[in-house]
Structures are given as C-alpha cells and as structure tokens.
Amino acid sequence: MTSSISKTERFLRACRRQPVDRAPVWMMRQAGRYLAEYQAIRSRVSFIELCKSPDLAVEVSLQPLQLVGVEAVIMFSDILIPLEAMGAPIAFDDGGPRITEPLCSRGQVEALVVPDPEERMPFCFETIRRLRAELGGEVPLIGFAGAPYTLASYLVEGGSSKSYATIKAMLFSAPELAHALLAKLADTIAAYLQAAVAAGAQVVQLFDTWAGELAPEDYREFAFPYQQRVFAQLDQARAPAVLYVNGSCGILEMMAETGASVLSIDWRTDLAEARRRVGQRVALQGNVDPAVLLGTPEKIRAVTDETLRKGGSSGHILNLGHGILPSTPLANARLFCAAPTIFSEAQP
Amino acid sequence: MTSSISKTERFLRACRRQPVDRAPVWMMRQAGRYLAEYQAIRSRVSFIELCKSPDLAVEVSLQPLQLVGVEAVIMFSDILIPLEAMGAPIAFDDGGPRITEPLCSRGQVEALVVPDPEERMPFCFETIRRLRAELGGEVPLIGFAGAPYTLASYLVEGGSSKSYATIKAMLFSAPELAHALLAKLADTIAAYLQAAVAAGAQVVQLFDTWAGELAPEDYREFAFPYQQRVFAQLDQARAPAVLYVNGSCGILEMMAETGASVLSIDWRTDLAEARRRVGQRVALQGNVDPAVLLGTPEKIRAVTDETLRKGGSSGHILNLGHGILPSTPLANARLFCAAPTIFSEAQP
C-alpha cells in the first residue's frame, strides 16, 4: 500500500489518535554516539559547542533522517541548557555536563531566575527555525525539554544517581523547598517549550526520565503537578505534547491525566496492557527495549512486529522505551525504522 | 494489645496468609553500612572474610535485632558466594566483589560446576546453624540466594550495570547459551537453598533484583522458568520462599505463578494495587521507598502507616522496597521497625 500522506501528517494524526495507514517511527537519542558521522563531528567540537552552534546542531539533528530512516526529527540539544540559562552552576566538561555546586539551600533556589528563552537561549530557536526550513513541513520537527522533577534531581544530586537519595531526602524532609524549586523549573520549561513551538517545533516532548523512581504517591505530589503546569501553558492544538517517564508502569493512569497528548513508555510495561489501562484518552509512544537492537534481526523483527500489533492502527508511535544504546549496530537501527513499512505491507 | 505468639510464628503465619495480630517487620540489607557496629567490624576484616567467618557473620547478622528492632534475622552473606563455589572467576577486592573475566563463551559456561553446597560452602551452613541456635526458634531465620537471571547478569556484565546491554545482547543474540547458563545457576541455587533450610533457615528469599529490567516477554523466557525451577525444588511447607524483584510492576501476575509463597515488591507499585492484581494466591512483602527513611519522622510514620493499612491484616510483611540506604539515620530505621507495634495499638 502506497500512502500519499506526508510524514508530518501521519505523525500528528497519530499523536491525536486519528486513523493512520501505519505507525510512524523515530528513536529517542537518535542523534548520537552510535553514528560514526556524529562521532566525527564530536571529535572536533565539545558537546556544549555542538548544542550552541545551530549549523552543527542542525547537521547532527538531520543525520538520523538521512542515515537511519527515522520519520521525525528531534532537535539536537540538552535538557540542561535551560538550567544554565536559569543561572545554575553547570560546567560542560569533556566527560559530560556537571553541576559544580549541587543545590541544597533556599538561597540557591531563590538565586535561580526564570529566563526569557529567546534572549538567553537564542541558539536553540535558531536551530529550530533552520531545521523547520530544511524539513519544509514534510517531516515533523520535535522540540524537547527536561521536566521539572528530573531537572530538580539533576540540580540536587549533581548528576545521575543510583538511589536518588539526595533529591528524595529533600522531598521528604524539606518539601516546601522542593516545591519552590519545582515551580520555578515548571515556568522556565513552559516558556522554553512555548518558544520552541513559536520557532517551528510541531511536537514537543517533556522528558521526566527519573520521575519513575518515585513511589506513586510521591509522583503525585512532586512530579505530576509540575508536568500539568507545563502542559497547561502549551497550545496542543498547534503542537501536541509527549510525556516520557522511564519506569512508568506504576503511574500510567496519573500520566494520562497530566494533559499530555501522548505518553511515551518504557519496555517494562506490556503495550497492550498500557492501552487497556489508559483507555482512549491519549496516544502511546514506544516501547521496544533499546537492548533488543543488540540482538539478531529475527529478534528485532519479532519484538517490533509484536509492538506494532499491540500499538494498534491508531494512536501509536513506534519508538524505543529509552534512548538508543551507543553500541547499537547501524544496520539494526535501520531495521527497526523500516519495520512499520515492512509490517504494514505484510498485513492483509 | 499484647500478643503471646512468637515472632517466628507471626512471620510464618504471614508468609502463609494466615491471620496474625499485626504485620511482622524486617529490612532488606539490614546488617550493613548504616550501623556503626557493622562498620567497626568491617574496619578490621574484609567483606569476604566477614562472609566466610561464621563467628563474625553471626555477630553482624544479629546486630539489627539488638540495635534496630527488626523481627526476623537474615544470615549475613553475599549472593556471589555460590558463584565462587561454581568456579566463576571472582575477586573480592576492597572495592567489593568483582568478576575478573566476564563470561561470554560456551566454554566458560561449560567450565562452571554445580557444587555440593555443604562441601564447597560449609561456612554458610555453619553460620545458619549457629544463628538458629542463638535465636532458639523465637525469631525467624532467613536464608537467601541470588536468582539465576540476576547471577547470570553479574557474570556476564562483570558487575552491576546501567543498561544491562551485555547480558541482554547475549539473551537476544545467543539465547541457547544464556539458557545453558541459567539452568546451571538454577540447580546450584536450588541445592544451596535446600541446604540452607536443612541447616535451619525457616524462610528463604530469592533475590532476582535485576529481572525487573527485562520486558515482560523476556522475563517470561529468561527469568520466570528459572525462578520456578528453584522454587519447585524447595519444601515450602517447611520453609516458605520469598521472591524479590526490583521494578516488578509489569510482571506481578507472572511472579505470582512462580511458586513463591511471598512476593517482595519495590515501592513503585501501590501495595493495594499489587494485592488486587495478584489476588489471594501469595503474601506480599514491602514496599516502603528506602529513601523515606531519610525523611522526617512524620513522613516515615505517614508512609509506613499507609503501607500497613494497604498491606491488610494478613499476608503482609512490612519491609523496604529495596535495601536500606547507607546514609539512613539509626533512629529512622528504629522508627520504621517500631511502626507495626505503634500502628496496631492505634487501631480500634
């Protein structure tokens, strides 16, 4: 079956749970270390230079479209960029971004500003404008940001963490300080995503990667209201919003009430079960284990086809359940992206 | 209300879902770094010496009973001890145990033996016999082991991991090799736990901590059958078996079919929801976020009381959802352990 709808139209229709000929596909962290072409650029410039140079950010954003066959382009950037614009103490070293002075006091929270996005992060919106011009509306452009809870974790832990003991100690012993921080982050991120849509992003994704580390009642208190606060400020008739949480099995029903149009879920929940639980309120994105792309072609095909079957004929965007692993062979990433086309052709 | 039943009787009745006056309580990793008395011993001997010296292992096993008020004693040991007995290349350095040569070939799997437990790990059973004599049947004694999937992950990854890419690459590209390894591990662990019960353990817990990293269908293929294979070889009329998986929300119904008497669950599933899902087939253990013990007394009390309420009047053992964090204040660990008594007195 040959389809005449554009990739953009298919993607946006899937986000809105309108019927489509087949699921669209892209991959989280799709511009990255598994691509030699990305590595070649990174060998010349630092990570932060790459984020802040629209020429280069556009180039690496487009690489997966040309090399892998994804059906949506996500702008290349980093979730910590808005934190830097807030005045948080971040250093972008060769080993990756680093909070030089983890946040622990009321004074540090009060010192953070809610920045004007275009003024403080012009390179982000320049990247979006150029990408949108390059894509010409044929392929959808995704903007993204970290969610308040995940950004707060980063600021308080000083980086990723095994047990998230430091941020949780704040939540459970100084909740009013945590709430002050989360509110400021929510307003920063809402303004940032509004500016991304104004610059040309047709979809936005909010990454609350670490919110799945919270017990359901703690998610309800510390993550959910700030996700809601971000989504309430976005015009989703213009650009649908996707919410990603890693380890979301215990909170799916709440996620469906945040105001997101699409829930992006990890591989530890069965996709058919997720659909049953959230009903018809939201579209679903996911949810193949990124490690499946380290397997045989037969394994990749079996898991992807089963995911497409469970995702159903509307309201499903094929994706990984987390970012693509750096060790993924390029051929396997290509096979994953080709699956919806192959699969739809195999259907009666 | 004063009760005349022993801690052992209460614990075993809870495991079997028989009515009890209140929930028993203990904590995973309860003998450990949050205790100054444990640190004092560790400053004199290495971790592996501690595991292999029944005198010292008995002493640290009993510390939480005396210092914290737990209502069950788990033997002090390490899940890697049976791997060493199988002939796996493990070094116990100061930084913790380490696989010196991660397993990747059929030859390495074939070289592993299924050891006679009493012959190769006599110190483990000597520790159990002495503990049982010390406790005199008044306080229940728990033996434990790592489950096949988690042990296989350790052997193949060479330690803990962020993405478990190496073990999963084996599962998804050389499944027959993985199955050969898992089968050998299952028979080793079954024999080890049988010997633990023969030596005096009244309950056994199987830790499949990392099985929650698998998609449900991969759990069904690579973890579930080997948990079943272990449980099928145990006499649970004599010693009930507990199954722990971290991040188990997506696989609870399958866990309830493994043959375990008790499911020990992490904090990311609501306990009442877990009970609804597994029905009356199994008892539940858990499921307070260990980081709650870094919070205020009010937070600890609120979460613990809610957990006891959701756990209900039979078939619940109060525990953390994962091991106690090293930074936990002793007073907070004590408060957690006192909660069932306080709570039951507050009931009408």
Summarised one tens digit per residue, pLDDT across range A122-175 is 999 999 999 999 999 999 999 999 999 999 999 999 988 889 999 999 999 999
pLDDT of A343 > 80? The answer is no
Which positions in chain A touch B268 (Cβ < 8 Å)? 212-216, 247, 249-251
CB contact under 8 A, B165 and A270: no
In terms of Cα–Cα distance, which of B65, B63, B100 is closest to B80? Answer: B100
Phi and psi of A256, rounded to 5°? -70, -10
CB contact under 8 A, A289 and B327: no
CB neighbour list of residue A44: distance below 8 Å, 6 or more residues apart: none
DSSP state of B136: T
ipTM of the complex: 0.96
Q: What are the tens digits of pLDDT across the range B170-211?
A: 999 999 999 999 999 999 999 999 999 999 999 999 999 999
Q: What are the tens digits of pLDDT across the range B263-313?
A: 999 999 999 999 999 999 999 999 999 999 999 999 999 999 999 999 998
pLDDT of A73 > 70? The answer is yes
Residue with tokens 């866990």: B255
Interface check for B294 against chain A (CB to CB < 8 A): the answer is yes
Which candidate from B250, B296, B321 shows the least CB-CB separation from A249?
B250
Percent of chain A with pLDDT over 70: 97
CB contact under 8 A, B171 and A218: no
The vertex-B90 CA angle with B86 and B92, nearest 5°, equals 130
CB neighbour list of residue A164: distance below 8 Å, 6 or more residues apart: A153, A157, A210, A213, B291
pLDDT of A347 > 80? The answer is no
Q: What is the mean pLDDT of residues A22-37?
A: 97
**Residue of A289, A292, A310 to mutate for B, most B C-beta atoms under 10 A:** A289
Structure confidence at residue B348 as a pLDDT band (50, 70, 90):
very low
The Cα–Cα gap between B257 and B253 comes to 7
Interface check for A292 against chain B (CB to CB < 8 A): the answer is yes
CB neighbour list of residue B72: distance below 8 Å, 6 or more residues apart: B7, B11, B24, B26, B139, B140, B141, B142, B203
Shortest distance between the Cα of A61 and any Cα of chain B, in A, equals 24
Q: What are the tens digits of pLDDT across the range B11-69?
A: 999 999 999 999 999 999 999 999 999 999 999 999 999 999 999 999 999 999 999 99
Interface check for A165 against chain B (CB to CB < 8 A): the answer is yes
> Regarding the domain delimited by A7-346, which CATH topology (the fold level of the hierarchy) does it fall under?
TIM Barrel (3.20.20)
DSSP B247-286: S-GGGHHHHTTSS-SEEE--TTS-HHHHHHHHTTSSEEEE
Which tokens sit at B318?
């109060």
Is the pLDDT higher at B92 or at A259?
A259
In terms of Cα–Cα distance, which of A77, A71, A76, A79 is closest to A12? Answer: A71
Instruction: Give the pLDDT of residue A3.
Output: 58
CB contact under 8 A, B172 and A247: no
Structure confidence at residue A190 as a pLDDT band (50, 70, 90):
very high
Q: What are the tens digits of pLDDT across the range B11-24?
A: 999 999 999 999 99
Q: Number of C-alpha atoms within 13 angstroms, CB side, residue A131?
A: 34
Phi and psi of A323, rounded to 5°? -65, 150
Instruction: Give the pLDDT of residue B99.
Output: 92
CB neighbour list of residue A127: distance below 8 Å, 6 or more residues apart: A54, A57, A58, A61, A75, A76, A77
Percent of chain B with pLDDT over 70: 97
Residue with tokens 């209502």: B71
Burial class for A94, CB neighbours closer than 10 Å (0-12, 13-18, 19+): exposed
Instruction: Give the pLDDT of residue A348.
Output: 46
Interface check for A298 against chain B (CB to CB < 8 A): the answer is no
pLDDT of B347 > 70? The answer is no
Instruction: Give the pLDDT of residue B3.
Output: 58
Structure confidence at residue B161 as a pLDDT band (50, 70, 90):
confident
Interface check for B296 against chain A (CB to CB < 8 A): the answer is yes
**Residue of B214, B268, B304 to mutate for A, most A C-beta atoms under 10 A:** B268
Which positions in chain A touch B168 (Cβ < 8 Å)? 289, 291-292, 294-295
**Residue of B162, B210, B294 to mutate for A, most A C-beta atoms under 10 A:** B294
Instruction: Give the pLDDT of residue B283.
Output: 98
CB contact under 8 A, B216 and A173: no
Shortest distance between the Cα of B5 and any Cα of chain A, in A, equals 33
Shortest distance between the Cα of A172 and any Cα of chain B, in A, equals 4
Percent of chain A with pLDDT over 90: 93
pLDDT of B1 > 50? The answer is no
Cβ A344 vs Cβ A20: under 8 Å = no
Residues 254-273 on B with a CB inside 8 Å of A are 267-270, 273
pLDDT of B345 > 70? The answer is no
| Average model confidence (pLDDT) across chain A | 95
Instruction: Give the pLDDT of residue A345.
Output: 64
The Cα–Cα gap between B201 and B260 comes to 16
